[in-house]
Amino acid sequence: MPILDVEVVTGPGELLEAGLARRLADIAGDILGSERGGTWVKVRALPSGQYGENGDPEAEVRPVFVSILVRKRPPEETIRQQAERLSAAFAQACGRPRENVHILYEPSAAGRITFGGRLVSV
């Protein structure tokens, strides 16, 4: 049941590739080990004018922010391994440097998320 929210900071006139959400879902499903139809991905473009960093970065940075929600958060070593693979694959898919892909693992969803009104239990 992984649910990923992906925000891609876009430059002026830059459009996200058609089918990017499906492509990222396939990548994430493989890396996170979910069944067919078990990984859901939402992708949004964030115009660069709506993104900022403090200070004066030397070059325009257009990062990718990924939040991952899973039933039970995996151990740290598993997160480390998944994040390495996800950041490399998402960077390639989004046309960004790997160091500009930032991944946040949310707390476990069990006990705090519902599907169709049914609470997902531990």
Residues 47-71 pLDDT 10s: 998 998 888 666 688 999 999 999 9
When pLDDT is averaged across residues 33-44 and rounded to a whole number, the result is 96
Structure confidence by residue, pLDDT tens digits, 108-120: 999 999 999 999 9
* Rounded-to-integer distance, Cα 119 and Cα 28, Å: 24
Task: Determine contact, residues 110/121, Cβ cutoff 8 Å.
Answer: yes
Q: Spelled out in words, what is the top-level CATH class assigned to the domain 3-119?
A: alpha beta
Angle of helix 20-32 relative to helix 76-94, nearest 10 degrees, comes to: 160
**β strands within the chain, DSSP E:** 3-10, 40-47, 64-69, 101-105, 114-115, 118-119
Q: Which of 83, 11, 91 is nearest to 45 (CA)?
A: 11
Amino acid at 75: P
Predicted local confidence at residue 58, as pLDDT: 63
Distant-in-sequence, close-in-space partners of 87: CB < 8 Å, separation ≥ 6: 98, 101, 103
Predicted confidence at residue 61, as pLDDT, reads 84
Mean pLDDT over all residues of the chain?
94
The pTM score is: 0.93
